[in-house]
Chain A
Amino acid sequence: MNDGFARLSPCDELLLMPDVKVLVQGINGRAGRSHTRLMRAYGTRIVAGVSRSGGSVDGIPVYNTCAEAVAATAALVSVVMVSPFAVADAVEEAVAAGIKLIVTVAEGMPVADAVRTLKRVKAAGARWIGASTPGLAIPGRLKLGFLPDVALAPGRLGVMSKSGTLSYEICYRLVSRGLGQSLWVGVGGDPVKGTRFCELLPVFAADPNTAALVVIGEIGGSEEEELAVAIRSTPCQKPVFAIVAGRTAREGLMMGHAGALVHGTNGSFESKCAALAAAGARVFARIQDLVDAIASDSQCSR
């Protein structure tokens, strides 16, 4: 472990620990069952499930509450597979039970719920990835959520993304060029969210396995601009490659992600690209150009 790693908060250290014990809330739902199976097959150490049903799923003990599951297994991480209106209560239960890293995958969590959940999680010193995210992975070791195997490979790129599918496409193409990931975190496309780009910078900076950062942004909000400020104030010797989707988006037109809405000049493509470029990031408009640039950079493959 290097010095940077030691400076991370305990909950952020969990992002770099592939052997951590994981429980799944909502394990007995349709998605919960199938994703639990897939995560476990990938190598994730799933020690418990939480569901009113009790019993077990594929031999994994299912507890009625998070508190019971944590008491029995000492899990520190939860993957929450419940419907969007149930996410806030599920996260509350996890935090109260002492869970320190929470990944929620439901699409459509109300903003007001996200605000209250964010405050609760911060007050408890925990980290929440979501609300709507495909999750995170340390390729070859750990998967929390459902990042697609075809786009995952161990490597040296630290990936952070607002968009699931755009990150799948980019990482799939990088993997086909022999470039895998050290840690891949989807932060999701919601306006209010558990973890923003800039909060991940210290994690990637500290991670000895990460040689370069890949930032997959999109219009709306201010995360790319916040990340640019963070890069400037915490020099990280690792090169940053970025792409911002939505260059041609029209003000006022909804395109899927609630966070990807431009009002006036706030959250515009131009603002994000300019901020990232001024912070030293190499910013690309086309996927192919981003992939080519990363593939031809010697630091990325080392």
Chain B
Amino acid sequence: MLLLEYDAKAMMAERGIRVPRGVLVRAAADVPADFPLPLMIKAQVPVGGRGRAGGVLEVADATALTPAVQRMTSATIKGHRVRECLAEEMVAGHECFIGFALDHASGNVDVLLSESGGIDVEARNSDIVAERTDFDPVACRDAAMRLAARTREPLRAAFSDIAPRLAEMFFSLEAVLLEINPLFVRPDGSWIAGDAKLVVDDNALARQPALAALIRSRADAYPEVVGKLASGFDFAVLDAEGDVGLVTTGAGLTMQLIDELIARGCRPFNFCDIRTGEFRGDPARLIRVFETMAASPSIRAVLINFFAGITHLGEVSRLIVSALEAVPRLVLPITARLIGNGYDEAVAVLGAMPVPLVVEPDLERALDRVTAAAGRKRP
């Protein structure tokens, strides 16, 4: 998962990596009266290329602050609604770049340095010096120091100072990507991190208590990860005004179903990987998802898609019944596409429900039925 800039910088500051003074804001009034001007208003969204996408505004004086915060908090950047911004002190210096990136194919770490930084650094490959290094903190630190030695002063002094701290941070947090772009370097060799990109490993959170605590304390900012920590399965709202709710198992198949529904003109409300194999006789996951659907007025149809390799559909269907009984507010037309052992039993169990629920063994027909129920015509 990508940490938002504000949180990544908080982790940096704890490690002595200097970052500009900043505060998280949702309104201009959240900016302290004594905050130095000029300042930057930076949208906190988990995407790259934020500056070019309109996610960063400069505020020169106090009169410009309110309109800037208002404009940013009502913006959508690359599909992400902006909920909060980082109000940050303006810093200056020569812009450069330093990064550590795990190469997935080899399992090695790419250590990257550039004497120039900013928006297009990755497009200007010629400026980057790099070493592919063993997955080891000492090896990475040494590689970064070797690369730093190839740069000119005062950048060399700055890189040599920051590299060991970043290498330590990369490994101690089990990061897969850690970048500072731009890193501002002043003529005296002092430096400050202008931006921070930190991607950490969700799978390691159980042994990363500081990261887990940070993420839990910011449930609004990381609803998918916090939801998964709490419930054990993946659920993400894709389109808050979406018309089709998905109660599905399997990440890849659900991604594909989303693609196919959008191609049919639908607006899928959510991603879901509920993992039927982990139900173990408990309808809690289904109840949680049904409650979300019932509370979302734009949803007009629900698709259940369970391809059960091992789990018996009779058992699954009884859990669906319990969950629907627990969420009587959910009165939407439901199409349940079920494959696996116990299909006939599932049809009998679900057919007895006093809700508009149809069991359909064919996925294409199930998608067409959901599309029609959502009021969309197949293009």
Q: Which of chain A's residues has its CB closest to B49's CB?
A: A264
Q: In the complex, what residue of chain A is closest to B201 when comparing beta carbons?
A: A111
Q: Report if B259 contacts A (CB, 8 A).
A: yes
Q: How far is the CA of A247 from the CA of B252 in the complex (A)?
A: 11
The interface bits of chain A over 99-141 (1 if a CB of B lies within 8 angstroms of the residue's CB, else 0) are 0000000001111101110110000000000000010000000
Known contacts A148-B307, A254-B224; A163/B252 CB under 8 A: yes
Does A270 belong to the interface (CB within 8 Å)? Answer: no
Interface centre among B253, B308, B339, by most A CB within 10 Å?
B253
B62 part of interface (Cβ distance < 8 Å): no
Residues of B with C-beta under 8 A to A110: 174, 201, 203-204, 207
Q: A164-B250, A248-B262 are in contact. Are A258 and B48 (CB under 8 A)?
A: no
In the complex, residue of chain B having the shortest beta-carbon distance to the beta carbon of A269: B259
Whether, in the assembled complex, B254 has its beta carbon less than 8 Å from a beta carbon of chain A, the answer is: yes
Q: A172-B307, A192-B104, A287-B363 are in contact. Are A254 and B236 (CB under 8 A)?
A: yes
Residues of chain B within 8 A (CB-CB) of A162 are 252
B: interface residue count bin: 35 or more
Binary contact track B98-122/A, C-beta < 8 Å → 1, others 0: 0000101101000000000000001
The reply on B185 being an interface residue by CB < 8 A is no
CA distance A232 to B299 in the complex (A): 46
Contact A250 B79 (CB under 8 A): yes
Contact between chains at A147 and B309 (CB < 8 Å): yes
Task: Decide if B78 touches A250 in the complex (CB within 8 Å).
Answer: yes
Stretch at the interface among A15-23, A73-81, A177-185, A216-224: A216-224
A255 within 8 A of B: yes
Using an 8 Å CB-CB cutoff, how does the interface string of B309-349 with A read, 1 for contact, 0 for none? 11000000000000000000000000000011000000000
B176 and A222 within 8 A (CB): no
Q: Judging by beta carbons under 8 Å apart, are B252 and A164 in contact? A: yes
B49 neighbours in A (Cβ, 8 Å): 264
B1's nearest neighbour on chain A, judged by CB, is: A254
> Do A191 and B104 have beta carbons less than 8 Å apart?
yes
18 of the cross-chain contacts (CB-CB < 8 Å) are A111-B176, A115-B135, A148-B308, A162-B252, A165-B252, A172-B307, A172-B339, A192-B104, A218-B255, A221-B104, A253-B238, A254-B1, A254-B225, A255-B236, A259-B104, A260-B255, A263-B2, A287-B256
